[in-house]
Chains A and B, each alone.
Chain A
Amino acid sequence: MNVQKKSSRLGLGLIYFFLVIWALIVLFPFYWMILTSVKSFAAYNSEYIPRFWTPNPTLENYVSAFTTVPLGRYFLNTLIFTVATTGLMMLVIVPAAFAFARLEFRGKNAVFAFFLSLMMIPTELVIITNYVTIVNWNMRNTYWGLILPSVTSIFYIYLLKENFESIPDELYKAAKVDGTSDLKYLLRVMIPIAQPTIVTIVILKVIECWNSYVWPRLITYDQNYFLVSNGIQQIRESGFGRENTPAMMAAVVVISVPLIALFLVFRKKIMAGVSRGGTKG
């Protein structure tokens, strides 16, 4: 018995050891970006062999991150893009999910099956024509051009429809008897009940918007309309003059902070949401 206990203790120690190793692999890049961002330009460049600590941290890189490149502008653009896309998407998907879940109309099943089959289509296939469409509509370097192609998501319609359907039918029938209109029922009853799912969808969409890179890169070439991802790429290629790595890292920290803060606040909700409806990997 004693031997067994010892060996299981050893096993547990090994498990913790490997878990700590992976935690370090995950955390180290974050440590390194913060560390580098507070090293002064001179100090960083004099380190042929990188140091794990800096004696005199400075915030000058954060100042130059906002003054040398229009980081504030990128931020504002991303914020506008994220809020507008998420808001518009809710206006599109909530009514659609409601129609599929509660309303009766001819061809409902056929339309829904068609929607589901479109879910298989990868963005890479439709992005070519969408690019041409937006160019033809003269919407390059506009918020509309950035926003419009990503305001529908069949997957979220599906997720919401499932949730709406789990709300008991009796509520709907009772509301009908009372003469409540469909719209009023949707706004007053269904949306409040389905709120957890709606919050999940909003959070997932916000993460997606904040990190989107490919579409904005195609649609914007004017810096005034860059999102943070494009901004950081621009900074990498021509941002701070000759290789100002500390300033670049300051920009990386600034860009990473909002989502990490959001995550730490809504940790449970985000993780539950991703395991239900997230895709990445």
Chain B
Amino acid sequence: MKTKNNWKAWLYLLPAIAFLAVFMVYPLIDVCVYALEENYSFAQGEATGIGLANFRYVLSDPYFVQAVKNTFLIVIITVPVSTGVSLLISLGLSSIKKLQNAFQTIYFLPYVTNTLAVGLVFMILFRKTDYTEGLVNLLLGKLGLGGVDFIEGPYWAKMFVMCFYTVWVVMPFKILIMTSALASVNPDYYKAAKVDGASSFRIFRKITLPMISSTVFYLIITGFIGAFKAYSDEVALFGTNLNAAGMNTIVGYVYDMLYGSSGGYPSYAAAAALILFAIVFTITYINLTVSKKTVQYV
């Protein structure tokens, strides 16, 4: 029976293997070749040699340095903020009964919206032009603060709206996962703690947090990976020319090298993509090591 099944089984796998070979395995090898080919471009066609020149070029390119800086800032700010706030919101959600469903539905909405489209709304809200003050600036004025154009203004303002939007976009996923983790904690533990007269903060620290720690780490790890790949949210807010806005990210740099007015250099794009992969891989490895030491698997 085993042998009879053999070739048929491969037939079932054939489409998947064919697509993966063409669009995944071959590109994976090819990207390394690109990264090592010196002075290759779509216009030029021939490489002049093999070496690490592309990496040297990318690492010394001010646009790339800016992109790395932006990406790290986005990661460092949005991952802790979104994880923390989503934990608080989920704790709040799990301690109420009325309207719980309604809140959950509302909180999930950003997940099913086109981030490019809603990004435009954020742009309108935070923008300050000659024709309109913009809503956020109106509120800032009411609080007695000076107005600032968050879209084409100073760097910190752009970074603020960037991080705010990123958090807005990633919250639904985190709230959903965190809420279901909290719901799966065995209520007997809470009852026992209440009988012992433990304070609610103590219950949170000694019962809730350890019970959901693997979920929290899961969200931190996926959060890091996602934030390092930030790109389309930036385009939504600042337009496609991110270098001009000073708001490019590493992924944005890769695409700019590949395509568009600054494009045509797949070797630089490949080098930048490999650097990104190395960074994400390292951070994920560190995260996993830390989580193995702290997470309590029950």
Contact = CB atoms under 8 A, between A and B. Distances in A.
Contacts of B53: none
Contacts of A232: 114, 116-117, 120
Given A48-B133, A96-B15, A104-B9, A281 B226 contact: yes
A252 B13 contact: no
A110 interface: no
Interface string A10-40: 0010011011001101110110110010000
B109 interface: yes
B32 to A, nearest CB: 10
A26 B16 contact: no
B76 interface: no
Interface stretch (B152-160, B203-211, B232-240, B290-298): B232-240
Contacts, number: 266
B231 A214 contact: yes
- Interface of chain B, main secondary structure: helix
Given A111-B13, A233-B116, A129 B30 contact: yes
A133 interface: yes
Contact of B125 (A32, A148, A270, A280): A32
Contact of B24 (A36, A121, A217, A229): A121
Contacts of A18: 88-89, 92
A260 interface: yes
B10 A130 contact: no
B173 A152 contact: no
Contacts of A93: 16
Interface residues of A, number: 89
B92 to A, nearest CB: 4
A15 B108 contact: no
A202 interface: no
Given A19-B92, A105-B10, A236-B239, A218 B258 contact: yes
A92 interface: yes
A172 B92 CA distance: 47
Contact of B258 (A27, A122, A131, A149): A131
Contact of B15 (A22, A92, A115, A211): A92
Given A26-B109, A30-B121, A96-B13, 12 more contacts: A15-B96, A16-B99, A25-B168, A29-B168, A48-B132, A118-B25, A124-B229, A127-B273, A128-B27, A128-B31, A182-B8, A229-B232
